[in-house]
């Protein structure tokens, strides 16, 4: 089965700072999804990457998938308190539509 490891497990930054969260897979990624979860709530879709070397941005969040399709990073520029939450990466299997998730990275942004 596919395993996803996220690092760091938690992160505390000062408002305005940049940060990066990583997601590493034990197998080739066919589809890599980033979700955000506020404590005690459901997951909100951020971005999805499929092709090696692909990069997508939305507002101040940029996600990349490496060429080998085994690692993804999520970068937040000029962080704000609204960015606080748990960021989870999820991966599709090779031929199905189920997502396996990492444990998440807890982000705290101090004003």
Residue placing its CB nearer to other proteins in the complex, 98 or 111: 98
Closest distance to other proteins from the beta carbon of 16 (Å): 27
Give every CB contact of residue 8 below 8 A, 6+ residues apart in sequence: 21, 105
Under the binding rule (CB under 8 A), the answer on residue 100 touching other proteins is yes
Q: How far apart are CA 70 and CA 34, in angstroms?
A: 14
Closest distance to other proteins from the beta carbon of 92 (Å): 6
Residue 99 near residue 84, CB atoms below 8 Å: no
Q: How far apart are CA 59 and CA 66, in angstroms?
A: 21
Q: Which of residues 27-56 bind other proteins (CB under 8 A)?
A: 30-31, 33, 35, 40-45, 48, 50
By CB under 8 A, name the binding residues for other proteins: 4, 30-31, 33, 35, 40-45, 48, 50, 88, 90, 92, 95-104
């Amino acid at each position: 089965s596919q395993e996803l490891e996220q690092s760091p497990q938690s992160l505390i930054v000062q408002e305005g700072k940049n940060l990066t969260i990583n997601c590493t897979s034990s197998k080739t990624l066919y589809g890599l999804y980033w979700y955000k979860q506020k404590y005690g709530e459901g997951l909100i879709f951020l971005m999805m990457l499929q092709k090696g070397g692909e990069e997508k941005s939305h507002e101040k969040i940029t996600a990349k998938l490496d060429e080998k399709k085994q690692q993804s990073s999520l970068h937040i520029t000029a962080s704000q308190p609204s960015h606080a939450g748990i960021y989870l990466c999820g991966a599709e299997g090779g031929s199905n539509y189920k997502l396996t998730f990492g444990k998440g990275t807890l982000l705290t942004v101090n004003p």
